[in-house]
Homo-oligomer: A and B are copies of this chain.
């Protein structure tokens, strides 16, 4: 069905170019007709790479491929397709990734191990490598600096808008650029990385720095999003650092502990958080975007588990869909999380309205005020546990008829 998120931006600006990154896209007919589904990215002088992947025990063939070659630390090309996830495809899946990497390597003039792959779409269908071989040679010739918005659009599946983010960071007084694109709308649950996201920077940093940047960013960005509690087989986040900024005099940094990287790490975290929020705002079928905040838990990790228990609860999510400030279901979700909690110290807020305190209904709260607040399309739910200093936030959405309609029809 042609569902469009009410949060879909009407006007999305393209991102700036990144030195050392060239992109090209094609309509390869992998599953969809009349739309682009193949992204080719080439790093002419190579890029140092970091990566984080799904924790699924049934990871896709491209995830296996990337994990295997990440240790090399260098990328020359990235190939991403939508329409088919190449997951649960057995030996044929491995044959397909190898053939695609070989075709891309030939096009880019590099070794197959320097090609990174990601696929998203239907699970369980064999992925024919022929469309890749047919297009990659031409794409390598056509690839140009820029075109990130087109790239973000090409990797969409059930997404209703392309997701891009950009930031500039200071390294030892010089500026570097960070661009990132992501896709994701359903089968979204935080566990390591969720969905596909690709971060590109001209910063002259090592693979160790790239890995550290993602290790810091992912837990507070992609791992804080849930649409439907379902973790994908294909989740992949890759960061490519071309080092092109060195030509402009930016100092090269190999040591991930170098304090000069603080601004760079923050900027990577910011673009990842920006994309993560965009994913939640494009949650399949949503009518409400919800930020769940948990404070006063025994630890940050405990707070995150409680926040996820709330954000994944079908009863909480349907209450939001019904614009019902149903704090009873929030209590239920806190209770089922299994984390330390003292029922009689809990307080619950919808927006700034406290509806419950010290384990029971707040006698002062106005049902009318809270009901009016619930009509907003972007909402905040805060749980104060009052037993510690741990805190977390999770971004999610409500559960609506449109989620059912989208997923009862779509073979993903």
Taking the full assembly, how many copies of this chain does it contain? 2
Are A90 and B336 in contact, with the CB atoms below 8 A? no
Of residues A122, A318, A346, which shows the largest number of chain B Cβ atoms within 10 Å of its Cβ? Answer: A318
Instruction: Kindly report which residue of chain B lies nearest to residue A232, judged by CB atoms.
Output: B332
Of residues A55, A126, A403, which shows the largest number of chain B Cβ atoms within 10 Å of its Cβ? Answer: A403
Contacts of A228 in B (CB 8 A): 314-315
Are A233 and B332 in contact, with the CB atoms below 8 A? yes
Known: A229-B314, A326-B412. A123 touches B407 (CB 8 A): no
A174 within 8 A of B: no
Q: Mark A315-339, 1 if CB is under 8 A from B, else 0.
A: 1001101101011110111111111
Are B314 and A90 in contact, with the CB atoms below 8 A? no
Q: Which of A7-15, A24-32, A356-364 lies at the interface with chain B?
A: A356-364
A401 within 8 A of B: yes
Are A343 and B59 in contact, with the CB atoms below 8 A? yes
- Within the assembled complex, what's the spacing in Å between the Cα atoms of A314 and B335? 21
Are A407 and B335 in contact, with the CB atoms below 8 A? no
A56 within 8 A of B: yes
**Chain A: interface residue total (CB-CB under 8 A):** 72
Contacts of A333 in B (CB 8 A): 230
Contacts of A329 in B (CB 8 A): 123, 230, 412
Q: Which of B90, B186, B314 contacts A344 (CB 8 A)?
A: B90
Q: Which of B232, B335, B339, B409 contacts A322 (CB 8 A)?
A: B409
- Within the assembled complex, what's the spacing in Å between the Cα atoms of A54 and B339? 14
Are B58 and A335 in contact, with the CB atoms below 8 A? yes
Are A404 and B400 in contact, with the CB atoms below 8 A? yes
Known: A361-B126, A404-B399, A411-B324. A332 touches B92 (CB 8 A): no
Contacts of A343 in B (CB 8 A): 57-59, 88
A189 within 8 A of B: yes
* Main secondary structure on A side of the interface with B: loop
Known: A313-B230, A332-B233, A412-B315. A88 touches B57 (CB 8 A): no
Are A332 and B408 in contact, with the CB atoms below 8 A? no
Q: Mark A80-95, 1 if CB is under 8 A from B, else 0.
A: 0000010111111100
Known: A124-B327, A344-B90. A332 touches B58 (CB 8 A): yes
A12 to chain B, nearest CB (A): 28
Of residues A85, A126, A339, A404, which shows the largest number of chain B Cβ atoms within 10 Å of its Cβ? Answer: A404
Instruction: Kindly report which residue of chain B lies nearest to residue A125, judged by CB atoms.
Output: B361
Instruction: Kindly report which residue of chain B lies nearest to residue A306, judged by CB atoms.
Output: B57
Contacts of A322 in B (CB 8 A): 407-409
A309 to chain B, nearest CB (A): 9
Q: Mark A93-134, 1 if CB is under 8 A from B, else 0.
A: 100000000000000000000000000001111100000000
- Within the assembled complex, what's the spacing in Å between the Cα atoms of A87 and B328? 8
Are A88 and B314 in contact, with the CB atoms below 8 A? no
Of residues A91, A312, A328, A361, which shows the largest number of chain B Cβ atoms within 10 Å of its Cβ? Answer: A328
A187 within 8 A of B: yes
Contacts of A293 in B (CB 8 A): none
In addition to A57-B339, A322-B408, A404-B404, 12 A-B residue pairs with Cβ atoms within 8 Å of each other are A57-B335, A122-B328, A123-B329, A123-B331, A124-B360, A229-B229, A230-B314, A233-B332, A314-B403, A324-B408, A324-B409, A400-B404
Q: Which residues of A contact B (CB under 8 A)?
A: 54-59, 85, 87-93, 122-126, 186-187, 189, 191, 228-233, 312-315, 318-319, 321-322, 324, 326-329, 331-341, 343-344, 346, 356, 358-361, 399-401, 403-405, 407-409, 411-412
